[in-house]
Structure 1
């Protein structure tokens, strides 16, 4: 049946010569995969799947899709991007954050059950990242801690967080203060962290995710993010 929904692109893989299989987290249908034929061929702008630019990481879409229960792959009838990014594609630092976040989301979002509250959080956060001018270097830290609330395993305080991760990674009073502020303050808040401390806090957060997300493992995009941030 036809279903209208908003969606956030997570990733895609090439399929045959001109097609892709794209993974999209949708507002109405949860996590879904779609096969898009001919999108990598010339003249694809007129096809139902649109053009390749629509399938870049974290692109915000409006979709009309063919959805069949128990099917692993679905098809897109109509697609558009009513909220194109303004700054993100041209910002080197933000590009590294996007690659990192899409890999983490691909590991963390596994349910086909819809979760509109989670979707709205992701949608809002992506908008913030596109337009944010200050505190961008801490965005991914705040995002991961805030995301854990919607995934169902957030800790209420920084002390609870550190209690979980301290058997694996050492922490001190400065880490505690940083985590508390990252948990409570809005995106862009002036949280003073140098590069070394930021990497340490990130390692704690990733360990926190490994404790709660099955098969989380390591992230291939982490070295790229750290190189871009210096």
Structure 2
């Protein structure tokens, strides 16, 4: 059966000489894996651009139950990103987003609210005025809400993590900072020194590891530390 849906590209791997296997988080059908033939051939060079991480697509897809690999009938870009593909920091943050989502959801997982949040976040990341230094912190805090394990208050974001990297003097400042991030989201301009922002990032990523019960290290950490300047 054919379905029309929007989707956000998470990642792809090469398959045979000209094809790819692509993970796409769709709004209506959830996380799906698609086999896309011929997209890497010389005649189809431009088409591979459709499947870069955090690209938003409009698709007509086949959806067969109990089938691991699905097929795409029609596809086009919903909105072309203007800054993300050409700005090193924004590209790094897009890869960070894909890593977080890929480790947080499973095949066929469907959550329209999470999808809408991701689409909104991509739009924010692609705007020049968005503060990149605060972006990964806001993303982790907000994303946890849609995944269902976000604490109710700023203080609980600190207390519910079994690790506690902050000194007594830092806790109040950090709690105020988290509250501002919760209230103002991607518009937050609250000033906090680089050292504390990096400690909060480590704290939130450790919190995710505990919630997801996944002890793998974060591959995008090197890029993130350059963004948090």
TM range, normalised to the smaller chain? Answer: over 0.9
TM-score using structure 2 length: 0.92
Match of 2:97 in 1: 101
Q: Secondary structure at the match of 2:191?
A: coil
Which of residues 86, 90, 95 in structure 1 aligns to 2:86? 90
Q: What is the Cα-based RMSD across aligned positions, in Å?
A: 1.6
Over residues 171-195 of structure 1, what are the superposed CA-to-partner deviations in whole Å (9 max), with x where a residue is unaligned?
2222111111112213132021332
Is it true that 1:201 corresponds to 2:200 in the alignment? yes
Is it true that 1:217 corresponds to 2:216 in the alignment? yes
Rounded to whole Å, the distance in 1 between the matches of 2:215 and 2:101 is 10
Q: Secondary structure at the match of 2:214?
A: coil
| Residue 96 of structure 1, CA deviation | 1.4
In the alignment, structure 1 segments of 5+ residues that lack a partner are: none
Rounded to whole Å, the distance in 1 between the matches of 2:133 and 2:227 is 10
Q: Secondary structure at the match of 1:32?
A: strand
Rounded to whole Å, the distance in 1 between the matches of 2:182 and 2:107 is 25
Over residues 13-56 of structure 1, what are the superposed CA-to-partner deviations in whole Å (9 max), with x where a residue is unaligned?
111111110000000110000011111111126xxxx7100000
Over residues 137-185 of structure 1, what are the superposed CA-to-partner deviations in whole Å (9 max), with x where a residue is unaligned?
11111011001110000111111111112x4132222211111111221
Q: Secondary structure at the match of 1:186?
A: helix
Q: How many residues align?
A: 225
Match of 1:133 in 2: 129
Match of 2:66 in 1: 70
Over residues 68-97 of structure 1, what are the superposed CA-to-partner deviations in whole Å (9 max), with x where a residue is unaligned?
011111011110002101222222221111
Over residues 166-225 of structure 1, what are the superposed CA-to-partner deviations in whole Å (9 max), with x where a residue is unaligned?
x41322222111111112213132021332221100011111111211325221111122
TM-score using structure 1 length: 0.92
Rounded to whole Å, the distance in 2 between the matches of 1:36 and 1:157 is 44
Alpha carbons 1:107, 1:216 under 8 Å: kept: no
In the alignment, structure 2 segments of 5+ residues that lack a partner are: none
Higher alpha-carbon deviation: 177-186 or 153-162: 177-186
Match of 2:29 in 1: 29
Rounded to whole Å, the distance in 2 between the matches of 1:111 and 1:183 is 29
Match of 2:158 in 1: 162
Rounded to whole Å, the distance in 1 between the matches of 2:10 and 2:158 is 30
Match of 1:18 in 2: 18
